[in-house]
Amino acid sequence: MQSESRAAAADPVELVTMLYDELEIAVGVLAAMVRQGQRISATEPAHRARAILIGLDAGLDHEAGGDVAAALTRVYGSMRRKLDKAVAANDAEGLDELLEGIQTVSSAWRQLR
């Protein structure tokens, strides 16, 4: 409930930052699950991470965002492909690499504040 009220009061940049936070958590959980010997395909964190990436892409305003929005669409598409590949292979290293990329983009968003 706390995150719902936080989201209701958030500006667009803060909303995207919140999504990145949730994405980092989901991918981190997936990597931990792999390291514990669990299969991660069809798990809630895998579905959540993919849904967040789709949502981030769907929320882009390509008319107002121009080249930046187009670049982010490519980034989110690449992240989805890396996620799908790492989940299918149960690949912790692939998830770690994805998490690094997410943190890089997230850091750039945080600088907009």
Structure confidence at residue 109 (pLDDT) = 86
| Structural domain harbouring 96 | 2-110
Whether 13 shows a pLDDT value over 80: the answer reads yes
Domains of the chain: total: 1
CB under 8 A, 24+ apart: contacts of 62-68: none
Give the model confidence (pLDDT) of 62-88 as tens digits. Answer: 999 999 999 999 999 999 999 999 999
Q: What is the CATH number of the domain that holds 92?
A: 1.20.120.340
CA–CA separation, 54 vs 49, rounded Å? Answer: 9
Give the model confidence (pLDDT) of 23-58 as tens digits. Answer: 999 999 999 999 999 999 999 999 999 999 999 999
CB under 8 A, 24+ apart: contacts of 55-58: 55/19, 56/16, 56/19, 56/23
Q: How many residues belong to the chain?
A: 113
